[in-house]
Structure 1
Amino acid sequence: MSAFSGLRAARQTKESKSYVKSNNESQQVTTTPVLLQPSTEGQESLQLEAVPESTVHVLPSGLEVRRSSASGRGLWAKALYKPGDIVLAAKPHIAALSNQYLDSYCSNCFGPAPESGLKRCTTCRTVWYCNSTCQTKDWAQHKRECVALQEWSKSAPSAELSIPSDAVRCLGRMLWKMQKQKIDSNWTMEINALQSHRSSLQSSSYELHTHLSHALVRYLGLTSPQELADFGLNSAGDLVDVISRFVANTFTITTPTLTPIGASISPVIALINHSCDPNAVVVFPRSSDQEPLMQVIALRPIATSEEILTSYIDTTLPKPLRQASLQETYNFFCQCALCRSSLDADPREAVWCPKSCGGTCPLPTEDDDFSRCTKCKAVVKTTDAIQDAVRVGQEALDKATALQFKEPVKAQQLTTNLIPILTSAGLTPSSHPLLALARLHQTLLISTLPVPLTQDALDEAVRATTRSSTGLASVLTYGHPVRGIALAELGKILAVDEPQPRQATSPAEATLIYPPSGPARLKLAYDTLVRATDELRVGFGVRNDGGQVGKEVRESAVALEKEIGVWKQGVRNVVEDTPRQVPK
């Protein structure tokens, strides 16, 4: 569960075609063995322990809700799960696109614009759909939203503020549906059973909750506190509860390549507790006709009576930053196995051995600047220089992150300048902030590749992508979707046609050049795509065959295999057609 991302997507071509709205309700989703839906009369159900109102969910037979003294309610396995198994799947109770994607993705199925372009709602002129079918399915949700968006736009002080924030729009959809479903419905009780942290809000959260409360009241068109009762809210405290539940239980909706494009609420998946070393992951593989469909995928073997655990945050971060993030948003101190472990050198906070023995040393800090190699015990003597590099690197990361969309050239300059400094200081590829800078640097390089493409720019993008993938492989479980996507990106960019292939002067020199050129590069691209396919099948589900990305990567690997085969056959033909010289 995570808050909305500020990432921006490239705008896609759309057609501004009008079509008649329908008052039909959204079509019901057909239940499958793993698809989770609110229970209905006559179905087997499981009572949650948190509320006396008998909030219920239908769960797959391999799962049950239990309560532990350490983490409260959670989902536990009643069956064995293998890596890549779909533990459960669910349509979100509520979902909303982020503002920057309203005109490039469908507001119903969250798919990208088709070749024919998206169709805009001709009344509010804010949301877009694949076609009239998607518009009709979303009309039950969009009906009230459509009016509210028009009213908001009329009173907006500027064009930039003509649409309410992502969170306000998603909360509006949630409250309108709660009003329609009534307070005693299973749907509403599942929302109300979500964890709220109103009684223990961090001081840093006061401003956010206050701003959301005022904006939401305005968006809903309320003029008095009494009107909150129409939504089952009897006081301002109840409204803060709703917002707190939303903030603490929001899942980011992503594209198949993990780009955040919106947010969703799923009470049953929100039951899953957090671990910084999770055994499962929540993804949107886009492998069905019931999109957006959330799926919980097993990353490792899960035994009977083992708790299902996902991560709420970026687990590539070092422990202090993970704990700070969890405290601020979810109000708890993590006691997972990773946070309790006493690693000699956490790869997220490590530097190479000063004697170059191949071992690593803990990253020296202000609290503890003594560091020695875990392998040869050599002592790190440049602790002040390392700490200075890390501090400057974190500042650069913060600045570059803030500038990546507004001023990408400046952001790229920061990453380009700081990565060598951190590398020279001895940080390993998986260490923070080097890994985060490397990932951002890769994104910026690929998004600004010149046209026509130059060999130097392509090679630099390959090296940046390799650096990111190497760092991620050290801190994430095999099959984690982030690892799989990173490998897929590396394989794809290695497979790009070289403008000016480099020629090594000797076999020895060829082994030292990275990235390689010519046939060696194609072979490396192919091997990387095959590895990516294997990991994607785990991270996005074996049954899904790796999801949409897995399918694309397999197709790329097959095309490369054919290309390599053609090249090998060509070499054979040349060899066979060349007359052999018989010694005299």
Structure 2
Amino acid sequence: MKSVSYDSHLKVCQNKDWAIHKRECTALQEWAKAAPSPELFVPSDAVRCLGRLMWSRQKKGPDSTWRLKTREIDAMQSHRASLQESSFELHTHLSHALVRYLGIGSSEELVQFGSSSPRDLVDIISRFVTNTFSITTPTLTPIGASVSPTIALINHSCEPNAVVVFPRASETPSTHEPLMQVIALRNIEPEEEILTSYIDTTLPKALRQSSLKETYNFECSCPLCASMVGPDPRESVFCPKTCGGTCPAPTDESDVCRCVKCGAVVKNADAILDAVGVGQEGLDKATALQFKDPVKAKQLTTNLIPILTSSGLTPSSHPLLGLIRLHQSLLVESLPSPITQEALDDAIRAATRSNTGLAAVLQYGHPVRGIALAELGKLLAVDEPTPRESATPAEAALLYPPSGPSRLKLAYQTLVRARNELLVGFGTVNEGGQVGKDVRENIVALEKEIGVWKQGVKNVLEDTPKLARKP
């Protein structure tokens, strides 16, 4: 079979998309001219995706077969008549941005896009907001937005039995676009409903419910929201008497909390509530600064994490887990070149805390868990710039991350665990996605390195008696 170059793929893609892209290109240029600041030169993914949808309608005409092809989108549920007050701002902003992006100057001009009134435009936006999916890289980094009427039919649960992922770029000769797939996280019985999560399930119940109500206009009654046996790890603190148990974190409604294991009462409820409030505010600020001012964002997470941990919050609690995950990302992004031992070890410790928190709130095989484990394994596998001098077994047991052969062994074990979870979260048929393939290559490389090290030790042990007999 004759191979087709990437440039050929790109040319085919450009030709097929030109009818829409020539409009998009002009709109992007006009948008940039009117942008008040450089960071606003490009409209959001939502505006660009909606723009493509509207141009497609315009290109085909309101009475053409395009209307038949888009009947699934038109049939999707709109919450225009029951929008929450908190959603008004988002829908209003999207409406104004879309109108400006399309260059619409009057209500009459909406007709060419298959809409007879501003109400129809709001309906389209509502359907989009309610049914859109984030397109991600194989490492779960958002890179765009899409609408899939079929997959949008899947209902929500905070304890999903399936996930929507983009394991890798398409290998089809005609396109390099990511492929959306629904992957089962466990065996799904006949007649059992397939359920995915619309939101971040590491968040506590109140925030999950608020997000679902605001965006999707419903209250979740899944098992996780309806009942929780024991403290929710998303809202928990360690036992004040360090018995090994945990306590429900205090709330504004209830500040009397006891350890479920020994019954000890949490006495610093006000301090915990204050720490959570400060942590949430700091997480919001650091997230907003993540790309604009990463140095400031890292300073915020560095200062806030000790405050929350000293208050007794477990690594899986909100907002501590969010701060830990962001802190890890910032540390990895800011690793110096050449890398230093201190910076590498700090990143490994942050990745370990992140994995500990995620393991408590996400089920085995969840893609986020698999990616997090892979990141930790790869950090452990990085060659140490200045390995620590040998320590006694007792001393070595207290040191983390370990150094030398112990670190190499831990890296191998972590990557094996990561691959096992990636095979679940991104599908065995996909070999765990692109990340799973990369991890497999890392495992093979470590096996060779460990084999060389073991052989070297064996050779030394075999030669030692001979050396000892020499005069």
SS at match of 1:264: strand
Q: Distance in 2 between matches of 1:164 and 1:404?
A: 19
Partner of 1:349: 235
Q: Distance in 1 between matches of 2:390 and 2:275?
A: 35
1:430 paired with 2:430, answer no
Q: Distance in 2 between matches of 1:137 and 1:567?
A: 54
Q: Distance in 2 between matches of 1:163 and 1:392?
A: 33
Q: Distance in 2 between matches of 1:157 and 1:411?
A: 24
1:542 paired with 2:421, answer no
**What's the offset of the Cα at 1:212?**
2.2
Partner deviation per Cα, 1:326-374 (whole Å, 9 max, x = no partner): 1111111111111001332001011111121211110011210111111
Q: 1:160–1:470: structure 2 CA closer, same or farther, 3 Å change rule?
A: closer
| Conservation of the 8 A alpha-carbon contact between 2:132 and 2:146 | yes
Partner of 2:80: 198
1:163 paired with 2:163, answer no
SS at match of 1:490: helix
**What's the offset of the Cα at 1:159?**
5.0
* Aligned mate of 2:378, from 492, 497, 501: 492
* Aligned mate of 1:133, from 8, 12, 22: 12
**What's the offset of the Cα at 1:405?**
1.5
| Conservation of the 8 A alpha-carbon contact between 2:132 and 2:145 | yes
| Conservation of the 8 A alpha-carbon contact between 2:235 and 2:248 | yes
Q: 1:162–1:486: structure 2 CA closer, same or farther, 3 Å change rule?
A: closer
Q: 1:477–1:161: structure 2 CA closer, same or farther, 3 Å change rule?
A: closer
Partner deviation per Cα, 1:520-553 (whole Å, 9 max, x = no partner): 0000000000000000011001100101110000
* Aligned mate of 1:302, from 181, 188, 197: 188
Partner deviation per Cα, 1:465-513 (whole Å, 9 max, x = no partner): 0000111011001000000000000000000010111124311011111
Partner of 2:362: 476
Residues 268-417 of structure 1 correspond to what in structure 2 (within 5 A)? Answer: 268-286=150-168, 288-290=170-172, 291-417=177-303
Partner of 1:93: none
1:447 paired with 2:333, answer yes
SS at match of 1:252: strand
**What's the offset of the Cα at 1:179?**
3.4
SS at match of 1:579: helix
Partner of 1:258: 140
Q: Distance in 1 between matches of 2:70 and 2:292?
A: 40
Partner AA of 1:260 in structure 2: P
Q: 1:524–1:215: structure 2 CA closer, same or farther, 3 Å change rule?
A: same
SS at match of 2:70: helix
1:533 paired with 2:419, answer yes
Q: Distance in 2 between matches of 1:283 and 1:429?
A: 26
Partner of 1:507: 393
Q: 1:400–1:153: structure 2 CA closer, same or farther, 3 Å change rule?
A: closer
Partner of 1:216: 98
Q: Distance in 2 between matches of 1:404 and 1:250?
A: 24
Higher relative contact order (CA 8 A, sep 6+): 1
Q: Distance in 2 between matches of 1:154 and 1:400?
A: 29
Q: Distance in 1 between matches of 2:288 and 2:228?
A: 34
Partner of 1:420: 306
Q: 1:272–1:356: structure 2 CA closer, same or farther, 3 Å change rule?
A: same
Partner of 1:98: none
Q: Distance in 2 between matches of 1:482 and 1:550?
A: 13
Q: Distance in 1 between matches of 2:410 and 2:206?
A: 37
Partner AA of 1:398 in structure 2: D
Q: Distance in 1 between matches of 2:234 and 2:147?
A: 31
Q: Percent identity?
A: 73
Partner of 2:438: 552
Report which of the two has the higher share of strand: 1
| Conservation of the 8 A alpha-carbon contact between 1:280 and 1:297 | yes
Q: 1:489–1:230: structure 2 CA closer, same or farther, 3 Å change rule?
A: same
SS at match of 1:578: helix
**What's the offset of the Cα at 1:227?**
2.4
- Supply the RMSD in Å over aligned alpha carbons: 2.0
Q: Distance in 2 between matches of 1:534 and 1:376?
A: 36
SS at match of 1:204: helix
| Conservation of the 8 A alpha-carbon contact between 1:365 and 1:387 | yes
Partner AA of 2:125 in structure 1: I
1:189 paired with 2:189, answer no
Q: Distance in 2 between matches of 1:487 and 1:158?
A: 38
Q: Distance in 2 between matches of 1:159 and 1:395?
A: 26
| Conservation of the 8 A alpha-carbon contact between 1:178 and 1:187 | no
Bigger drift between 360-369 and 156-165 goes to 156-165
Q: Which runs of 5+ in 2 are unaligned?
A: none
SS at match of 2:252: coil
TM-score of the pair, normalised by structure 2: 0.93
| Conservation of the 8 A alpha-carbon contact between 1:287 and 1:544 | no
Partner AA of 2:17 in structure 1: D
Partner deviation per Cα, 1:440-480 (whole Å, 9 max, x = no partner): 00001111112221111111110000000111011001000
Q: Which runs of 5+ in 1 are unaligned?
A: 1-113, 120-128
SS at match of 2:465: coil
**What's the offset of the Cα at 1:261?**
0.9
Bigger drift between 517-526 and 336-345 goes to 336-345
Partner deviation per Cα, 1:376-409 (whole Å, 9 max, x = no partner): 2222122122112212211211121121112211
Q: Distance in 1 between matches of 2:36 and 2:272?
A: 48
Partner deviation per Cα, 1:133-183 (whole Å, 9 max, x = no partner): 332243243133233334444555565544333322111101122334555
| Conservation of the 8 A alpha-carbon contact between 2:83 and 2:217 | yes
**What's the offset of the Cα at 1:187?**
2.2
Partner of 1:80: none
Aligned residues: 457
